Amino acid sequence: MPLKQIVGAAIVDDLENPGLLLAARRTRPEEFAGLWEFPGGKVDPGEACETALVRELNEELGIESTLGTEVSGPIEQGWKLAGPAAMRVWFARIDAGFPLPLEDHDLLRWIPLEGASSALDWIPADLPIVDAVTAAAQSQHS
């Protein structure tokens, strides 16, 4: 069965010198409610992944955004999630708007990239992705 394509954003305070990451707490479905994740969602049929991600960030958080580099995963579709789905993840920055939990989330939080994977109760499949985001952010300004 093909994997459903999900896209997620590692929204940071500064693409060139990232120190903070914006995490979002999910409200649904029940298995993920209360867990933290990267804002994003499903790619529509025929839609480019990057277009889908910018659209999702606008719908979910009410922001205009620019994507940075991709945090590549071990498979072509990015990172395997629970179930028949995989997520590609890009760094992103906010161009306009103040991020609010408009859809799917009840709380947003800026957290230090350093130690991010142990700072919050992430969706389990996200843990290696958060570590890769932290590592990529560190290598960006070393």
Ligand X SMILES: Nc1nc2c([nH]c(=O)n2[C@H]2C[C@H](O)[C@@H](COP(=O)(O)OP(=O)(O)OP(=O)(O)O)O2)c(=O)[nH]1
Nearest CA to 100 among 8, 11, 31?
A: 11
Q: Are 53 and 33 in contact (CB under 8 A)?
A: no
Q: Does 78 bind ligand X (CB under 6 A)?
A: no
- Judged by CB under 6 A, the residue of 49, 81, 136, 137 near ligand X is 81
- The Cα 104–Cα 93 span in angstroms is 20
C-beta of 142: minimal distance to ligand X in Å?
Answer: 25
Q: Binding string, 2-31, against ligand X, x = CB under 6 A?
A: ----x-x-----------------------
Question: Using the rule CB under 6 A, is 91 a contact of ligand X?
Answer: no
Question: How far is Cα of residue 78 from the mean position of the Cα atoms in its chain?
Answer: 12
Which is nearer to ligand X, 6 or 11 (by Cβ)? Answer: 6
Total site size for ligand X, rule CB under 6 A: 16
Could you tell me how many residues make up the chain? 142
CB atoms under 10 Å from CB of 127, counted, come to 13
- Interface residues with ligand X (CB under 6 A)? 6, 8, 32, 37-38, 40-42, 81-82, 85, 87, 104, 123, 125-126
